[in-house]
């Protein structure tokens, strides 16, 4: 008998959401975090519509909306033709500017409320697994110790110890270009969030809570910025330096792009940056990490609590690894556009921007890709794996973290099916022609049918216990 059903390694956004999902599903996960305190610096600022939908599926979105700043437009590769999010088919058609520090605080509170246990100052140094479980070596404030669990989720970031100790490969490319970042005060800030790009590089200036600004972008210099270099770069790219002073964080980041070959190895799973790293173009990493966690959490909880067959766990890699592949592809494409400072590169950027302006449907497709609204998982039925393009109220129907039956009309047969499968049945307008669907807890269709009989038949194929 193992001490824990799941140990989650790393209390970043992906680990905290995984722990919350496991606790919601009836487990009591333990999170081990090596840092004694959370970093005061927020890498991520941007949350995407699909992530806000994820939060809404657990009734958690309001606190983020209250504190965040909705921004109706995003960019692809810092092209001047911005992507308009207002027409996207989601109740949250905007980017939400919300610093990572606050995101982690809110998710941690949610996880603790549900019963997750978080130990800070505990660094995992190694692991081994066999048929009985996983043994983790941990270095804590009182010394070294071992702990056993049925499953381990490595959400310990790009340098993941869990990934290495489990023997999972992380192939890809090293950094060849670097972006710069300064969280500073500005004496002469731009009136609105601004994007600039020319033969000297790219620049983004966005407000942060508390009156500071993030001045970030790309210039061919590979050095960590100083206030002086930030001024010079801003002048070269935007024609003015906005008067930066009082920096709280000056940093740089690279375009190393890597993807774990296996998101699952036996009893060990990877999610978030532990599974994928890339240039932070378009602000996607935290978003994809939370979406990984949303995909894995309910499955692991359902298998551990005997509500689903172990085969369900194999679908995690099958569904999320392709998303990681696509993530690497579009962030590399964006990196190429952001770093396109040559004469030819500038022409390419103008050409692409003109195309986006002339073909709004292409811009919408890009917006759906960057925001993960177009993620669809494989399935037998034509609807299976599709994301529910839902209202906010419909997303709230999933707040218990269990699958639910959604039907245009709750016929006696459907009511009987719901009772016999111990599932909640809700009458609601469906965006598809099917009369009823079984919705997964992560908001993707699991099975569909025009009659209760058809739906029951489709459900019989699922790895439900
Ligand atoms: C400049 C910059 C800007 C970005 N902007 C955005 C953005 O706007 N939007 C967006 O979505 N993403 C953005 N990202 C990416 C985003 O910050 C990351 O994708 C996100 O932090 C990943 O979350 P995670 O939980 O997977 O890993 P992390 O946040 O890296 O958390 C991993 C945790 O594991 C802990 N840990 C590590 N090793 C161990 C161990 N051995 N034992 C125990 N604990 C361990 C670490 O201390 C850490 O707390 C940006 C990144 C950068 C660099």
Contacts of 51 (CB under 8 A, 6+ apart): 286, 287, 290, 291, 372
Nearest to 337 by CA among 327, 357, 351, 321: 351
- Same domain? For 144 and 281 the reply is yes
The number of the ligand 1 atom at minimal distance from the alpha carbon of 161 is 41
> What is the model's pLDDT at position 274?
99
**Cα–ligand 1 centroid distance for 285 (angstroms):** 8
The number of the ligand 1 atom at minimal distance from the alpha carbon of 15 is 25
- Same domain? For 281 and 240 the reply is no
> What is the model's pLDDT at position 410?
87
Q: Which residue's CA is the closest to the ligand 1 atom numbered 5?
A: 44
| DSSP structure class, residue 444 | B
Q: In this structure, is the dihedral angle defined by the CA atoms of residues 227, 228, 233 and 236, taken in order, positive or negative? A: positive
Nearest to 450 by CA among 414, 403, 418, 425: 414
- Same domain? For 244 and 286 the reply is no
> What is the model's pLDDT at position 344?
98
> What is the model's pLDDT at position 381?
83
- Same domain? For 428 and 315 the reply is no
Verify whether ligand 1 is closer than 6 Å to residue 225 (CB atom): no
- Same domain? For 167 and 273 the reply is yes
**Cα–ligand 1 centroid distance for 342 (angstroms):** 32
The number of the ligand 1 atom at minimal distance from the alpha carbon of 45 is 8
Query: Which of 235, 254, 273 corresponds to the end of one domain?
Result: 254
Phi and psi at residue 147, to the nearest 5°: -145, 145
Contacts of 227 (CB under 8 A, 6+ apart): 182, 184, 244, 245, 247, 250
Can you give the three-state secondary structure of 328-365, one letter per residue? Answer: HHHHHHHHHHHCCCCHHHHHHHHHHHHHHHHCHHHHHH
- Same domain? For 312 and 412 the reply is no
**Cα–ligand 1 centroid distance for 273 (angstroms):** 6
Verify whether ligand 1 is closer than 6 Å to residue 93 (CB atom): no
Output the domain CATH number for residue 229: 3.30.70.2450
Cα(359)–Cα(269) distance, integer angstroms = 41
The number of the ligand 1 atom at minimal distance from the alpha carbon of 179 is 1
Helix, strand, or coil here: 45? coil
- Same domain? For 215 and 226 the reply is yes
**Cα–ligand 1 centroid distance for 67 (angstroms):** 21
Angle, in degrees to the nearest 10, between helices 314-338 and 343-358: 120
Query: Which of 335, 354, 382 corresponds to the end of one domain?
Result: 335
- Ligand 1 pocket test: pick from 8, 10, 75, 155 the residue with the most ligand atoms within 8 Å of its Cβ: 10
- For residue 443, being part of any structural domain is answered with yes
Phi and psi at residue 193, to the nearest 5°: -50, 135
- Same domain? For 20 and 110 the reply is yes
- For residue 307, being part of any structural domain is answered with yes
Give the mean pLDDT per block of 10 residues along the chain (465 residues). Answer: 94 98 97 97 97 98 96 95 96 97 98 98 98 97 98 98 98 97 97 92 92 95 91 97 97 98 98 98 96 98 97 97 97 98 98 97 96 92 91 98 95 95 96 93 96 95 92
The radius of gyration of the chain's CA atoms, rounded to the nearest angstrom, is 23
- For residue 221, being part of any structural domain is answered with yes
Verify whether ligand 1 is closer than 6 Å to residue 10 (CB atom): yes
**Cα–ligand 1 centroid distance for 335 (angstroms):** 19
Strands annotated E in 155-275: 172-173, 178-186, 194-198, 201-207, 213-218, 244-254, 257-259, 264-265, 268-270
Nearest to 275 by CA among 153, 178, 175: 153
Verify whether ligand 1 is closer than 6 Å to residue 280 (CB atom): yes
Task: For 210-221, give the DSSP string.
Answer: TS-EEEEEE-S-
> What is the model's pLDDT at position 357?
97
Cα(399)–Cα(60) distance, integer angstroms = 9
Query: Which of 320, 335, 350 corresponds to the end of one domain?
Result: 335
Domain encompassing residue 430: 392-460
- Same domain? For 287 and 163 the reply is yes
Verify whether ligand 1 is closer than 6 Å to residue 456 (CB atom): no
- For residue 133, being part of any structural domain is answered with yes
- For residue 427, being part of any structural domain is answered with yes
**Cα–ligand 1 centroid distance for 157 (angstroms):** 5
CA torsion 337-340-344-350 (nearest 10°) is 50
Return the structure tokens found at 458: 């489709």
**Cα–ligand 1 centroid distance for 47 (angstroms):** 14
Helix, strand, or coil here: 70? strand
- Same domain? For 420 and 450 the reply is yes
- Same domain? For 214 and 107 the reply is no
Helix, strand, or coil here: 144? strand
Verify whether ligand 1 is closer than 6 Å to residue 100 (CB atom): yes
Verify whether ligand 1 is closer than 6 Å to residue 276 (CB atom): no
Output the domain CATH number for residue 326: 3.50.50.60
Cα(463)–Cα(190) distance, integer angstroms = 54
Q: What share of the chain is helix, strand, coil (3-state, %, to 5)?
A: 35, 25, 40
- For residue 367, being part of any structural domain is answered with no
- Same domain? For 245 and 157 the reply is no
> What is the model's pLDDT at position 382?
86
Q: Which residue's CA is the closest to the ligand 1 atom numbered 15?
A: 285
Domain count, the chain: 3
The number of the ligand 1 atom at minimal distance from the alpha carbon of 13 is 25
Verify whether ligand 1 is closer than 6 Å to residue 123 (CB atom): yes
Burial string for 388-420 (b: 16+ CB within 10 Å, else e) reads bebeeebbebbeebbbbbbbbebbeebeebbee
Task: For 374-385, give the DSSP string.
Answer: T-----SSTTTT
The number of the ligand 1 atom at minimal distance from the alpha carbon of 288 is 11
- For residue 72, being part of any structural domain is answered with no
**Cα–ligand 1 centroid distance for 286 (angstroms):** 7
Cα(265)–Cα(135) distance, integer angstroms = 14
């Amino acid at each position: 008998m193992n001490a824990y059903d799941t140990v989650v390694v790393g209390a970043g956004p992906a680990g905290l959401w995984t722990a919350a999902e496991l606790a919601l599903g009836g487990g009591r996960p333990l999170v081990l975090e090596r840092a004694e305190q959370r970093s005061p610096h927020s890498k991520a600022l941007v949350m995407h519509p699909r992530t806000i939908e994820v939060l809404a599926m657990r009734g958690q979105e309001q606190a983020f909306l209250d504190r965040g700043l909705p921004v109706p437009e995003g960019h692809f590769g810092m092209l001047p033709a911005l992507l308009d999010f207002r027409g996207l088919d989601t109740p949250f058609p905007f980017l939400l500017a919300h610093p990572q520090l606050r995101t982690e605080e809110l998710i941690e509170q949610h996880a603790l409320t549900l019963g997750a246990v978080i130990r800070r100052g505990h660094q995992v140094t190694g692991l081994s697994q066999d048929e009985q479980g996983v043994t983790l070596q941990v270095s804590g404030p009182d010394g070294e110790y071992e702990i056993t669990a049925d499953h381990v989720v490595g959400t310990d970031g790009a340098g993941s110890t869990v990934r290495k100790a489990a023997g999972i490969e992380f192939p890809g490319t090293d950094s060849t270009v670097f972006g710069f970042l300064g969280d500073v005060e500005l004496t002469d800030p731009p009136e609105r969030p601004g994007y600039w790009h020319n033969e000297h590089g790219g620049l983004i200036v966005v407000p942060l809570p508390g009156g500071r600004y993030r001045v970030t972008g790309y210039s061919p210099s590979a050095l960590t910025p100083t206030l002086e270099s930030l001024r010079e770069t801003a002048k070269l790219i935007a024609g003015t330096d906005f008067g930066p002073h009082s920096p709280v964080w000056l940093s740089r980041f690279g375009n190393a792009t890597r993807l774990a070959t296996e998101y699952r190895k036996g009893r060990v799973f990877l999610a978030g940056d532990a599974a994928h790293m890339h240039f932070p173009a378009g602000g996607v990493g935290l978003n994809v990490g939370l979406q990984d966690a949303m995909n894995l959490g309910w499955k692991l909880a359902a298998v551990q609590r005997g509500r689903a067959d172990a085969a369900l766990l194999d679908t995690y890699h099958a569904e999320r690894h392709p998303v990681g592949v696509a993530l690497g592809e579009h962030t590399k494409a964006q990196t190429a556009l952001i770093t396109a400072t040559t004469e030819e590169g500038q022409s390419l950027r103008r050409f692409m921007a003109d195309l986006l302006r002339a073909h709004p449907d292409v811009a919408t497709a890009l917006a759906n890709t960057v925001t993960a609204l177009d993620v669809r998982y494989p399935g037998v039925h034509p609807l299976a794996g599709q994301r529910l393009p839902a209202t906010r109220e419909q997303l709230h129907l999933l707040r218990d973290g269990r699958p639910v039956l959604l039907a245009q009309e709750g016929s006696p047969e459907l009511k009987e099916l719901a009772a016999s499968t111990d599932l909640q049945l809700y009458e609601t307008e469906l965006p598809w022609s099917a009369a009823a669907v079984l919705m997964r807890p992560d908001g993707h269709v699991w099975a569909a049918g025009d009659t209760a009989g058809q739906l029951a038949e489709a459900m019989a194929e699922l790895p439900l216990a």
